[in-house]
Structure 1
Amino acid sequence: MRHPKGEWPGVNTLLRAVGDSTVGKSSICQVFHSDNSHFSKNYTMTTGVELLVKLVNIPDSKDKVELYMFDSAGKEIFSELVQKFWEQPSVVMVVYDVTSEVSFSSCAKWLERVRCQKPETKLPGVVVANKTDLDERRIISPKAGMEFAESNGLKYFECSAKEMQNVDAAFYYLANEFYKLYQEKVEIFKTMS
């Protein structure tokens, strides 16, 4: 709904960033939140859930989506605590480290944990292959990442949070996908009235 002056207040969407610990979920969220101006060199492990909020402009419109980015701890010890924050996700971002077979293999588990929160709903989502700056140590090919994403109805992205390269693309994609779904719901409500 638009404000009387024609301004769009922004649509809130809950983004869940999930994946094993040390894959770079926090770094990706922080780089995006800072408009690619900050990569934290002092790493502290997320012990629960961190929340970052950012308004994303929707291309070819005056509209915005307000992304509430829930960055979840990746250690199993925190899984029960973290799942309490996963209720009603709007979009999902599954992150893995291109140098870690274990983190890639865990993507299915993380995706299932999020999807079970809204089993009746198709969640827009992305798979993000992080740490592409470590190309000489890479063991997960882009093809493997793309195949996993496609087989799960997700879009595939690669980035390097450390080098602040291609971090924004996945977030903009998710904001746009959520906005499309929101617009569809608005149209349905209009036809009902």
Structure 2
Amino acid sequence: MMESLESPVNSRSSYDHLFKLIIVGDSCVGKTSILQRFHGETFLPQSVPTIGIDFRIRTITYQNKIIKLQIWDTSGQEKYDSITTSYYRGALGVLLVYDITSSKSFDSIKTRWIKHINANTRKGVKIILIGNKCDVPTKRVVKSEIAEALAVNHGFKYFETSAKENINLETAFHEMAKDIYNEKCLREESKSVTLAETSGKKRKTNRCCQITINL
């Protein structure tokens, strides 16, 4: 279980891992509100569209490790693409957001954003599909089943959230951090095993060579 740490992180020694995350999706789907609410800020009904890029930092704990999340909020406007794509570099996770009351924003996930992510992030980056504004179910136009099917088809996890009511935001970000952490541990464990096996083979080779020389 993850717990939030509200204190800021100012030095490398005060955290164990740094994970860079980015939030992408069309304008007005609630990306900025999601970031601000997860950061502990008040929901603003009339949020100003992000110009270019913005970010927040928050730390959480998982398995007794302090994880610093550096979360970048990108503009959904195409005219800022040349600016925002550079911030994909080094991202370990992507929150892909659409508005459940806007079919256009969901269509953009399929026609624009998935391609955008694949073209600008490393292979194997963790992606979570977010259907925001679940607090207004009467205005829903994108069915949950359709979004879930898209997520399953691409290997994404899927959550419906509400920045206004602060629904599922903690769960989504924590799940992302957990997946990145677990994969990182697996890679390091695999690397350690490979190094140990390689070292063992070298020792055996050296012993054989020593015997040959002595003979």
Q: Deviations over 1:14-72 (max 9, x none)?
A: 111100000001101111111xx5212341110111111111211xx211221111110
Give 2:113's match in structure 1, choosing from 98, 110, 113: 110
Give 1:25's match in structure 2, choosing from 6, 10, 31: 31
1:11 aligns with 2:13: no
SS in 2 for 1:161: coil
Task: Name the TM-score, length of structure 2 as normaliser.
Answer: 0.80
Greater helix proportion: 2
Task: Name the TM-score, length of structure 1 as normaliser.
Answer: 0.88
Q: Distance in 1 between matches of 2:144 and 2:174?
A: 20
Aligned residues: 182
Q: Distance in 1 between matches of 2:45 and 2:137?
A: 20
In structure 2, give the amino acid aligned to 1:165: I
1:55 aligns with 2:55: no
In structure 1, give the amino acid aligned to 2:45: K
Ranges in structure 2 where 5+ consecutive residues have no aligned partner: 1-12, 197-215
1:68 aligns with 2:70: yes
1:172 aligns with 2:171: no
Higher relative contact order (CA 8 A, sep 6+): 1
Match of 2:188 in 1: 186
SS in 2 for 1:38: coil
Q: Distance in 1 between matches of 2:103 and 2:151?
A: 16
Taking the TM superposition and a 5 Å limit, the aligned residue runs for 1:97-176 are 97-108=99-110, 109-118=112-121, 121-176=123-178
Q: State the shift of 1:8 in Å.
A: 7.5
Once the two structures are aligned, what percentage of the paired residues are identical? 27
- Any conservation in 2 of the 1:126–1:156 contact (CA below 8 Å)? yes
Give 1:43's match in structure 2, choosing from 44, 47, 51: 47
Q: Distance in 1 between matches of 2:86 and 2:192?
A: 34
In structure 2, give the amino acid aligned to 1:30: Q
In structure 1, give the amino acid aligned to 2:128: V
In structure 1, give the amino acid aligned to 2:186: E
- Any conservation in 1 of the 2:38–2:169 contact (CA below 8 Å)? yes
Ranges in structure 1 where 5+ consecutive residues have no aligned partner: 1-6
CA RMSD of aligned residues (A): 1.6
SS in 1 for 2:60: strand
The runs of at least 4 consecutive aligned structure 1 residues that moved more than 6 Å come to: none
Q: Distance in 1 between matches of 2:134 and 2:81?
A: 27
Q: Distance in 2 between matches of 1:135 and 1:32?
A: 22
- Any conservation in 2 of the 1:89–1:114 contact (CA below 8 Å)? no
- Any conservation in 1 of the 2:88–2:121 contact (CA below 8 Å)? no
Q: Distance in 1 between matches of 2:67 and 2:188?
A: 15
Identify which range, 12-21 or 40-49, moves more after superposition.
Answer: 40-49
- Any conservation in 1 of the 2:19–2:70 contact (CA below 8 Å)? yes
